[in-house]
Structure 1
Amino acid sequence: MTEERKWVQYQLTKSIFKKGLTPIESLILRSIEALDNGKGCFATNEYFASFFEINVYTVSRNITKLKDKGYITVRLERKNNNKTKRILKVKRASHYTEQSEINGVINYINGMFKEEHDFEPIKPTTEIKKAIQQKIKEYHSQKELIQYLKMHRDNFLSTHGVSLWLKGQLNI
């Protein structure tokens, strides 16, 4: 029985070996980037282990290191009761200030509910700003936080619901 392999093509240049990353971390990072079809990379540790002919635990450790060093995000989505799907995304360098990211989240939340008859915009109070700052850290980026808000919009019902969730007073 022959083994079928899926190949990823990319150029190996000096720039792939980023400062502070080991060669295998750099190669896994570049592979995640190459496999991302716009919705994230769904490759398993077993796939990478087979592709690079290394141990699956080595892959796991290196993916954790990439996450801890801030190069990737790892999100798990429940497919059914017994299985989850892992989504790896390369973080893009952002040149936005923390304040502009917070304001962007506030604007996004207000935009989500502006057509509602009982719309009351979230005001950028110190408490809300700190809560959003914490959620951005929790979700690893402004983009990931906004994706979560978008996916769960119907669960919040209003800006008030989002405000409660941001402050940790509502579980969604």
Structure 2
Amino acid sequence: MTNKRNWVQFKITKDDFKDDLTVIEVNILKAIQALDKGQGCFATNSYFAEYFNLHPVTVSKNINNLKNKGYIQIYFERQNRDKVKRTIKPISKVSYSEKSQILGVIKYINGLYNKEYDYTPLKATPEIRKAVQNKLNEFKSQKQLIQYLKKHREDLLSTHGASLWLQGKMEL
């Protein structure tokens, strides 16, 4: 007996393996992305279970993990009394390189103070790059670091103050 089901095809690269995803989650996510076609993925847990040779409960747990980690959204729509249609929409996650994040923070700091009369741009020297990298590690994300800088703009006074704070030479 041959299976006449049309299976989705997709390619997995090393870049698909994120720190927070398991091998099963990567495969299911890639299948969801391939099936999406702009309208969402309508595949059932049974489809994925058969495709990946997994138990439907394992599929369900991994789909919920992808949702909780922010890689997909799930929508339910009641079609009649007994049937519910599930739509899975992949969420595009953009990852920026460490260098890009560091330069982005420096650019943000310069933008905070560039209208001040005594503005001196913060330069991306090796010391400043290292200091920004340390702050990115401390704050866990570029977004959180930038929110902190925005909140404490007045405390830093200038790019010089931001430089001192980044290097740990000034406390807030």
Please report the TM-score for the alignment, with normalisation by the length of structure 2: 0.52
Query: What secondary structure is seen at the aligned counterpart in 2 of 1:47?
Result: helix
2:49–2:59: 8 Å Cα contact kept in structure 1?
yes
Give the alignment of 1:136-151 within 5 angstroms. Answer: none
Instruction: Tell me the percent identity.
Output: 52
C-alpha RMSD of the superposition: 1.6
- In structure 1, the residue matched to 2:13 is 13
Assess if the C-alpha contact under 8 Å between 1:76 and 1:85 holds in 2.
yes
Cross-structure match for 2:169:
none
- In 1, distance between residues paired with 2:81 and 2:34? 30
Give the partner amino acid of 1:3. N
- The 8 Å contact of residues 16 and 27 in structure 1, kept in 2 or not, is answered as no
CA shift for structure 1 position 4:
1.7
Provide the C-alpha distance between the structure 2 equivalents of 1:79 and 1:50, rounded to a whole number of angstroms. 24
CA distance in 2, matches of 1:60, 1:47: 11
CA displacement, residues 117-138 of structure 1 (integer Å, 9 cap, x when unaligned): xxxxxxxxxxxxxxxxxxxxxx
**Aligned counterparts of 1:41 and 1:21: Cα–Cα separation in 2:** 20
Q: CA deviation at 1:12?
A: 1.8
- Structure with higher Rg: it is 2
Runs of at least 5 residues in structure 1 that lack an aligned partner in the other structure: 96-172
CA change 1:89–1:80 in 2 (3 A) is same
Query: Conserved in 1, the CA contact under 8 Å of 2:76 and 2:85?
Result: yes
Count of aligned positions: 95
Structure-to-structure mapping, 1:34-49, within 5 angstroms = 34-49=34-49
Q: CA deviation at 1:94?
A: 7.2
The ranges of structure 1 where at least 4 consecutive aligned residues each deviate by more than 2 angstroms after the TM superposition are none
Specify every segment of 5 or more residues in structure 2 that has no aligned partner in the other structure, as ranges: 96-172
